């Protein structure tokens, strides 16, 4: 059971907009720690997609955006493309006794 909760799967048609939620608690997201997002294409290593809640590393298309509010965060993908089909993970820091750096369980995005 992951410290951060994500929906197991989401789907959308090409060109559509999808969002992926990431719900935490008062010891992680709600404590003010930033949320970061990773994209893992099939058979590859994770890649940083969003850092510091809403910042995109160089090379990441502006179709990807992130936001954070309270104890939750969201990743939005607009203009969905076939190559966006991947697993997406949120990550934050947890200040509880069993904390440190924590991930969501991951969300499988299917492009219909």
Summarize as ranges the residues that interact with another protein (CB under 8 A): 2, 33-34, 36, 38, 44-48, 51-52, 57, 89, 91, 93, 98, 100-106
The rounded Cα 42 to chain-centroid distance in angstroms is: 16
Smaller CB distance to another protein: residue 16 or 110?
110
Smaller CB distance to another protein: residue 88 or 111?
88
Tokens of 72: 């939750």
Least distance in angstroms from the C-beta of 100 to another protein? 6
Contact criterion met (CB below 8 Å) for 77 and 17:
yes
Burial (CB < 10 A; 0-12, 13-18, 19+), residue 12, is middle
Least distance in angstroms from the C-beta of 28 to another protein? 10
Smaller CB distance to another protein: residue 6 or 72?
6
Least distance in angstroms from the C-beta of 52 to another protein? 7
Contact criterion met (CB below 8 Å) for 73 and 62:
no
Q: What angle do CA 22, 24, 25 make, to 5 degrees?
A: 160
Smaller CB distance to another protein: residue 19 or 103?
103
């Amino acid at each position: 059971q992951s410290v951060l909760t994500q929906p197991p799967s989401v789907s959308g048609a090409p060109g559509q907009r999808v969002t992926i939620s990431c719900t935490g608690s008062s010891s992680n997201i709600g404590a003010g720690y930033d949320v970061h997002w990773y994209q893992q294409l099939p058979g590859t290593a994770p890649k940083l997609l969003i850092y510091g809640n809403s910042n995109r590393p160089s090379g990441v298309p502006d179709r990807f955006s992130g936001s954070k509010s309270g104890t939750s965060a969201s990743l939005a993908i607009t203009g969905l493309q076939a190559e966006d089909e991947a697993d997406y993970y949120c990550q934050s820091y947890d200040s509880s006794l069993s904390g440190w750096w924590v991930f969501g369980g991951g969300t499988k995005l299917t492009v219909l």
